Structure 1
Amino acid sequence: MLLLSGCKVKASVWKWLHIAISCFVTAGGLLLLKHSGVVTGGTAGLALSLSPILNIPFHYLFALLNLPFFVFSYFYMGKSFTFTTIIAIAILTGLSSLDSLLPAFTIPELPGAIIGGAFIGIGLIGLFRNGASLGGATILALYLHRKHGINPGKSNFAFDFIVIASSLFAYSLTNGLISVLSIAVTSTVLALLKRKLATVKPGESRAIHPASVN
């Protein structure tokens, strides 16, 4: 009994460790996109686009935009998944707020879009595998994947493209095209790694132990 309890605790620790690492990687991707002036999709991209217009810090706006999706998640993805997602968003929000402590800097658009998009894709895969998401379109993408087998890369690209298209009024066409490249990179990473997605039911997780990573 003690051994079983110890294994559960260890599995839980690995799960939250991987969630924290995934949030860190995703936050790095968002940081690259923000400082390269590239728009991304989902609620994160919408928050990045609206933040300078509404003069509201990104981390506050990001949390606010996710509230409606928590309701959907609660009813269709389960309590455990919703709780884990809320914690993941809180971690990402906290990490993103640290950007204000960094000195001002800029990154060239093209490398920022490619590397930032890849980081976000890798971070999302890590969250998906541990029964979490970053809210918004990622909840819908994971729901469609688990319920209907729809490629998460394709659905995520569709959602993100809509967000970017709606934000072009504030950006140039060139910036918009580079932003599309960014979400294409994210979607490609999701599509290539979709076999790594957890096939367990919503609310459950299948954390990756370092020894199992090739």
Structure 2
Amino acid sequence: MTHEPLDESRPGTTPAARADDVTTASSPAPESSPAGLPDAATPDAAAPARHGIDDPALTGSIETVDANKHTLAENVMGVVTGVFLASFGLFLLKASGAVSGGTAGLALLTSYATGWTFGVLFVLVNVPFFALAVWKKGWPFTLRTILTVVMLSAFSYLHPLMFDVEGVDPIYGTLAGNLLVGVGLLILFRHGASLGGINILALVLQERAGLRAGYVQMGFDVLIVLTSLTVVSPWIVLLSALGAVVLNLVLAMNHKAGRYVGHT
């Protein structure tokens, strides 16, 4: 039996080349992915990350935002509670002959000077500020504020019918009244409403200029309380000034932009 000499000039005829051929032939071919589908074992690093609605990171943030949003029932309850507390605080202030800041204090001061009822004056004093609310805060906030102003005016007629107050100690009435007004305003702020007037201006300055709403309110309240020297005694003015500080400290220490996560 004769063997033909190897022709090493032809590729693949050397022993090493033939060994490679045998190895290649014996190795199983890799399974191909179904047509139109990428190979799962080799992810495309160049493909952009998918951020759809099923992305856990985005889903978690969306759920958090929704969880922090006040429901309609919460807003209604919050507004009614805030208005009731603020109106009862003003009832104590009026029963003790004191004044307060903001448009409520201005309405009280005007009622002492003219004899007009507080409820009517409170609505009239707030009318010019509604235009500012529409311009800077939008219609939803403005409508809620109009509702709170009307509700507080109505409560101002209700409380005297429910309570027969002969007299209230001026110190207690001034401090307790302003404390209740402060807590009521805080609740209203957190549910996207206010008592109008200076409250609207204070909220706008806090959002636009970063000024604390409580400190802005305090500055205007000092001016209103000092003006009351023309109507009430210096002792009552001093108590009213102290009460205004209490009211605005409640706001300054508890209402800071970005601190409260709930929203309307």
Asked whether the two chains share a fold, i.e. TM above 0.5, the reply is: yes
Question: Aligned partner of 1:82: which letter?
Answer: T
Q: Which residue of 2 aligns with 1:64?
A: 124
Secondary structure at the aligned position of 1:96 is classed as helix
C-alpha distance in structure 2 between counterparts of 1:165 and 1:22, whole Å: 27
Equivalent residues, number: 195
Question: Aligned partner of 1:61: which letter?
Answer: L
- Maintained 8 Å contact 1:22/1:122: yes
Q: Which residue of 1 aligns with 2:29?
A: none
C-alpha distance in structure 2 between counterparts of 1:30 and 1:187, whole Å: 15
Question: Aligned partner of 2:194: which letter?
Answer: S
In structure 2, which of residues 221, 229, 239 is the aligned counterpart of residue 168 of structure 1? 229
Deviation of 1:114 (Å): 1.2
* Greater fraction of residues in helix: 1
Please report the TM-score for the alignment, with normalisation by the length of structure 1: 0.85
Q: Which residue of 1 aligns with 2:177?
A: 116
Q: Which has the higher contact order (CA 8 A, sep 6+)?
A: 1
The verdict on how the C-alpha distance between 1:53 and 1:37 changes in structure 2, with shifts beyond 3 A counting, is same
C-alpha distance after superposition, 1:10-30 (max 9, x if no partner): 811110111000000101110
C-alpha distance in structure 1 between counterparts of 2:77 and 2:215, whole Å: 28
C-alpha distance after superposition, 1:126-174 (max 9, x if no partner): 1111111101111111111111110111111111111111121111111
C-alpha distance in structure 2 between counterparts of 1:142 and 1:198, whole Å: 14
1:45 aligns with 2:105: yes
In structure 1, which of residues 78, 82, 89 is the aligned counterpart of residue 138 of structure 2? 78
| Moved beyond 6 Å, runs of 4+ | 196-200
Secondary structure at the aligned position of 1:106 is classed as coil
Q: How many percent of aligned residue pairs carry the same amino acid?
A: 35
- Maintained 8 Å contact 1:124/1:133: yes
Q: Where does the alignment leave 5 or more consecutive residues of structure 2 unmatched? A: 1-66
Q: Where does the alignment leave 5 or more consecutive residues of structure 1 unmatched? A: 1-6, 208-214
1:140 aligns with 2:197: no
Deviation of 1:53 (Å): 2.3
Question: Aligned partner of 1:107: which letter?
Answer: V
In structure 1, which of residues 151, 155, 158 is the aligned counterpart of residue 212 of structure 2? 151
Q: Which residue of 2 aligns with 1:206?
A: 263
Q: Which is greater in Rg? A: 2
- The farther-off stretch of 163-172 and 61-70 is 163-172
Q: Which residue of 1 aligns with 2:95?
A: 35
Question: Aligned partner of 1:32: which letter?
Answer: L
The verdict on how the C-alpha distance between 1:198 and 1:143 changes in structure 2, with shifts beyond 3 A counting, is farther
Deviation of 1:196 (Å): 7.8
- RMSD, aligned α-carbons: 1.9
Secondary structure at the aligned position of 1:107 is classed as coil
Question: Aligned partner of 2:246: which letter?
Answer: V
Secondary structure at the aligned position of 1:133 is classed as coil
Secondary structure at the aligned position of 1:69 is classed as helix
C-alpha distance in structure 2 between counterparts of 1:100 and 1:28, whole Å: 10
